[in-house]
């Protein structure tokens, strides 16, 4: 359906922002996208500086080091982020979610952990179905919404978009509209404004959630 293709395009466009934010914020990884309609673990892997990920060091080896480092440095949010990212990169989404969920509780003011947690839940949702899929999209939306409260001001509007889309896919159009309206409050004439208004109209009139 045309509306669904529009929604896919919409989500893909806003997904790239998280990749960029996480890269700039950590200087460790290329970062992750939202994962709803793109392969978020592969999207920017080719852009990672070779010296940061030597070909001779496998992800498994990096995970072992990151596990040890996180255990020895429980008060370091970067250690949590790194371990969560590596688990996700290795396809261990459940472990990634567990690590990042704990990290979100331990470091409630760390926006990067919250964003990555949202990415992980969104990726899990993509391969789930039914009630479980909606539950995971809801968790992703909650993480994006939480991140929007603590992220730098320049990133907040995009997080509103991410939260709105995830809430819509979770079957919670009321919350989706709430966060899309937050975006419009900040950027009434923004590049995504017309698309957001269409999303709101679809939600209010019972349009497909994709």
The tokens 């993509």 sit on which residue? Answer: 126
Q: Say how far apart CA 170 and CA 179 lie, in whole Å.
A: 14
Tens-digit pLDDT profile for the chain (210 aa)? 444 545 544 444 444 344 434 433 432 222 333 332 323 333 323 333 444 444 577 889 999 999 999 999 999 999 999 999 999 989 999 999 999 999 999 999 999 999 999 999 999 999 999 999 999 999 999 999 999 999 988 888 889 999 999 999 999 999 999 999 999 999 898 888 898 899 899 888 875 444
Nearest 10 degrees: Cα torsion 204, 156, 36, 16: 130
Structure tokens belonging to residue 8: 């896919």
Which strand (E) or helix (H) includes residue 11?
A: helix 2-26
* Terminal C-alpha separation, the chain: 9
Contacts of 88 (CB under 8 A, 6+ apart): 32, 41, 96, 116, 119, 120, 123
Cβ pair 112, 21 in contact under 8 A: yes
């Amino acid at each position: 359906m045309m509306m669904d293709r529009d929604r896919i395009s919409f989500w893909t466009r806003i997904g790239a922002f998280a990749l960029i934010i996480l890269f700039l914020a950590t200087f460790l990884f290329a970062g992750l996208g939202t994962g709803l309609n793109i392969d978020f673990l592969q999207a920017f892997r080719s852009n990672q500086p070779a010296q940061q990920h030597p070909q001779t060091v496998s992800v498994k080896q990096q995970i072992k080091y990151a596990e040890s480092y996180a255990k020895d440095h429980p008060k370091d949010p970067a250690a949590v982020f790194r371990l969560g990212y590596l688990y996700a990169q290795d396809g261990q989404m459940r472990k990634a979610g567990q690590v990042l969920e704990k990290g979100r509780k331990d470091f409630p003011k760390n926006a990067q952990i919250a964003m990555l947690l949202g990415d992980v839940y969104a990726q899990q949702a993509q391969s789930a179905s039914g009630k479980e899929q909606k539950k995971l999209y809801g968790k992703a939306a909650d993480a994006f919404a939480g991140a929007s409260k603590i992220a730098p001001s320049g990133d907040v509007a995009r997080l509103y978009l991410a939260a709105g889309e995830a809430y819509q896919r979770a079957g919670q159009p009321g919350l989706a509209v709430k966060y899309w309206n937050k975006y419009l409050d900040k950027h009434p004439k923004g590049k995504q404004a017309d698309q957001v208004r269409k999303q709101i109209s679809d939600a209010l009139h019972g349009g497909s959630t994709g």
